[in-house]
A and B are shown apart, each in its own frame.
Chain A
Amino acid sequence: MGRCVTLFAATFIMIVTMFSPAHAHKVIASVFPSGSEIEGEIGFSNGDMAADTIVEVFDLQGEKIDEIKTDADGFFVYTPQKNVDLRFRADLGAGHIAEATFDIADLSGLMEANTRAALSQPVAVDVGSRSDTPAITPEQEQIIATIVRDELRPLRREITAYKEKNDLQSILGGIGYIFGAFGIIYYIAARRLRAKA
């Protein structure tokens, strides 16, 4: 009997110490622009990534445009063909649907990049020939853009993780709402009881 109590107490303490108000089992999907491509990540909030999952690409009207597959880390890259906002959707099974929308305006875009390159080229040459200041060539611009993207990637992931975090405030707030709601129910029940008496 006594041993039983200690056993239960030990389990309880064990479970309570594991308690971490962290992320729960939730699907996370994030997409972000990367030059003329869209990068995305899909996985669960406990760190399991959706490996080799088919991601369907829709426009906002719900027409299916394309289909891509994630790699082993739940990562995918999509090159948009048309200038429309996109919705990415992946079915992870067991009622887990990952969905993320992408605003095409966030993309610097291949077409735009080309036109920009075409525009900046003569200007750069002009400036270079006139005052000998080193101008940025389109190739250099591409390299810089790649570096900036690589530098920003961990930050973006951190922001995604931060958005998924449940802090103590919302937990306590939720408990407060529950107690408040049941307080109201209690009040109504008590009033009824009084009215009956």
Chain B
Amino acid sequence: MHIVDGALAPEVLIGGGILAVSGLALGLRKLPIDKIPATGVLSATFFVASLIHVPVGPSSVHLIMSGLAGIVLGWTAFPALFVGLLLQAVFFGFGGLTVLGVNTVNIAFPAVVAGLMFRAVIARSNPVGAAIWGGFAGALSIALTTIFVAISLGLSGEGFVPAAKLVFFAHIPIMAIEGFVSAAAVYLISKVKPALLQSDHEETALRMQVAAQRTKQAREVQNG
């Protein structure tokens, strides 16, 4: 899932970098102040998830948890996953610094797509329904990521179709597991803190106004 340094052509690296920067800018602009803690927590989740190993046959796969970030954060998944990827590259040597842009796009963009697709229906469903849709979103984001990885490799000279097949089939077990874990997480969230799954910009804006009002009042009290 993480492409390493030296596997891609420079054009792909530059293109990935530009896309990642635009995604980051968009994500940061759409970051409301009350979603910042959730962004941090999901970034940390993503960072640690890659260390959770699930044995599959003789080999093992690791979790990615990008789908959950997409559901909860939408576009803000970009900065969250970027920070996670950066620290994974620095601390664990997953991926690398030159491929950071490409990896961010490959992992965060599918998360955003899955999030935008399933957010509304998850917000409307009861916990069990939300869990099922959440599971789909988790699996879908991995599937899309494998296709993105195959595109990156295909653009760098490796044949697209064989690369796509290899990456896609290698990740079928992780899609299933990821879907399951995402479903469990969404179920938990919709039971404990359903507000996290609502994508209500109006409410957020209103709350921000109220907060601003309060600060203003507090200042006036202090000054006067």
Which of A22, A93, A99, A183 is B51 in contact with, Cβ under 8 Å?
A22
Given A11-B184, A26-B92, A174-B91, decide whether A95 and B153 contact each other with a Cβ distance below 8 A: yes
For the complex, give the distance between the alpha carbons of A8 and B183 in Å: 8
Cβ-based interface call for B59 (8 A): yes
Contact between A22 and B53, CB atoms less than 8 A apart: yes
Contacts of A31-82 to chain B: CB distance below 8 A: 46-48
Tally of contact residues, B, Cβ under 8 A:
61
For the complex, give the distance between the alpha carbons of A181 and B163 in Å: 36
Q: Mark A15-33, 1 if CB is under 8 A from B, else 0.
A: 1001111101111000000
Cβ-based interface call for A118 (8 A): no
For the complex, give the distance between the alpha carbons of A95 and B63 in Å: 18
Tell me the minimal C-beta distance from B134 to chain A in angstroms.
11
Which of B1, B3, B83, B216 is A181 in contact with, Cβ under 8 Å?
B83
Q: Mark B1-18, 1 if CB is under 8 A from A, else 0.
A: 111111110000000000
Tally of contact residues, A, Cβ under 8 A:
46
> Across the two chains, which residue of chain B brings its CB closest to A179?
B40
Cβ-based interface call for A170 (8 A): yes
For the complex, give the distance between the alpha carbons of A175 and B41 in Å: 9
Cβ-based interface call for A96 (8 A): yes
Contacts of B97 in A (CB 8 A): none
One of B42-50, B107-115, B116-124, B196-204 contacting the partner: B42-50
Cβ-based interface call for A152 (8 A): no
> Across the two chains, which residue of chain B brings its CB closest to A96?
B4
Contact between B187 and A8, CB atoms less than 8 A apart: yes
Cβ-based interface call for A189 (8 A): yes
Contacts of B58 in A (CB 8 A): 48
Contacts of A177-191 to chain B: CB distance below 8 A: 177-179, 181-183, 185-186, 189-190
Contact between A197 and B44, CB atoms less than 8 A apart: no
Contact between B87 and A177, CB atoms less than 8 A apart: yes
> Across the two chains, which residue of chain B brings its CB closest to A194?
B215
Contact between A186 and B92, CB atoms less than 8 A apart: no
Cβ-based interface call for A117 (8 A): no
Contact between B3 and A193, CB atoms less than 8 A apart: no
Tell me the minimal C-beta distance from A119 to chain B in angstroms.
42
Contact between A175 and B48, CB atoms less than 8 A apart: yes
Contact between A178 and B54, CB atoms less than 8 A apart: no
Cβ-based interface call for B149 (8 A): yes
Tell me the minimal C-beta distance from A175 to chain B in angstroms.
5
For the complex, give the distance between the alpha carbons of A177 and B84 in Å: 10
Contact between A182 and B36, CB atoms less than 8 A apart: yes
Tell me the minimal C-beta distance from A41 to chain B in angstroms.
17
Q: Mark A125-139, 1 if CB is under 8 A from B, else 0.
A: 000000000000000
Cβ-based interface call for B22 (8 A): no
Contacts of B188 in A (CB 8 A): 8
Tell me the minimal C-beta distance from B223 to chain A in angstroms.
13
- 17 residue pairs from A and B, CB less than 8 Å apart: A1-B128, A8-B188, A11-B184, A22-B51, A24-B62, A46-B60, A94-B153, A95-B4, A95-B153, A96-B4, A166-B51, A171-B91, A174-B48, A174-B91, A186-B37, A189-B31, A193-B211
Interface residues of B (CB under 8 A from A): 1-8, 31, 33, 36-37, 39-40, 43-44, 47-48, 50-55, 58-63, 83-84, 87-88, 91-94, 128, 131, 149, 152-153, 163, 166-167, 170, 177, 180-181, 183-184, 187-188, 208, 211-213, 215-216, 219
Q: Which 9 A-B pairs have the closest CB atoms?
A: A182-B40, A95-B3, A197-B212, A197-B216, A197-B215, A174-B87, A189-B33, A8-B184, A170-B91
